[in-house]
Amino acid sequence: MKVEQRLAELDIELTVPMAGPDQYGKRYGKMKPFVITGRVMHLCGHSPGMKDGKVLYPGRLGDGVSIEEGYLAARHTGINCISTIKRALGDLDRVTAIVSSLNYVACTPDFFEHYKITNGLTDLLEEVFGPDIGLGARATYGAPSLTDNYCFETSLILEIDGPVS
């Protein structure tokens, strides 16, 4: 099944992908939203983003952000990642594997259920790409804070079917 067809079945709308292929911009410093080398694609840090100028799911787990909200933040972050991948590749069916994700959960020192938050991202990737392609390795770390008060951030490494021409 085509990935775009699966997105439609799941009623998932892609978001506006990260700015420009050359630099992410002044807000977060100079970086590229993605880098492709051979068959490997690296995505820079992605978050749930903003709506109407306000951070989606702000705060920290264990201090005002529930596990359910954290899960949704991670899921929305995954939609933003897929949007960037679509922009970079043009065709989401070019993804042959989610290799790994490096995840950060803004939380209090006594919060220990990071995996429940990251499940929002990995559940989405499995739903969209299927278990063979969508499930990769992952690591999740707790952080005292994240940029703009986001509660979740991820960086993905993917395998694609070949270099972008």
DSSP string across 129-160: H-HHHH--EEEEEEES--GGGBSEEEEEEEEE
Q: How many helices (H) and strands (E) does the chain have?
A: 4, 9
- Name the pairing type of β-strands 40-43 and 50-51: unpaired
Q: Does a structural domain hold residue 39?
A: no
How many domains in the chain?
Answer: 1
CATH number, domain with residue 149: 3.30.1330.40
Indicate the Cα dihedral angle 139, 142, 143, 148, nearest 10°: 80
Instruction: Give burial (CB, 10 Å; 0-12/13-18/19+) of 107.
Output: buried
Q: Does a structural domain hold residue 41?
A: no
Sign of CA dihedral 7, 31, 121, 62: negative
CA 78 to chain CA centroid, nearest Å: 4
pLDDT in tens, the chain (165 residues): 699 999 999 999 998 765 444 445 556 667 788 999 999 999 999 999 988 889 999 999 999 999 999 999 999 999 999 999 999 999 999 999 999 999 999 999 999 999 999 999 999 999 999 999 999 999 999 999 999 999 999 999 999 998 776
Query: What pLDDT sits at residue 15?
Result: 87
Instruction: List the domain range (segments joined by +) for residue 101.
Output: 3-14+47-159
Total-model pTM: 0.93
Q: Does a structural domain hold residue 61?
A: yes
Q: Does a structural domain hold residue 70?
A: yes
Q: How many CB atoms lie within 10 A of CB 140?
A: 21
Query: What pLDDT sits at residue 27?
Result: 61
Q: Does a structural domain hold residue 59?
A: yes
Q: Does a structural domain hold residue 32?
A: no
Query: What pLDDT sits at residue 16?
Result: 74
Q: Does a structural domain hold residue 145?
A: yes
Question: Tokens for 40?
Answer: 């490997």
Q: Does a structural domain hold residue 88?
A: yes
Instruction: Give burial (CB, 10 Å; 0-12/13-18/19+) of 95.
Output: buried
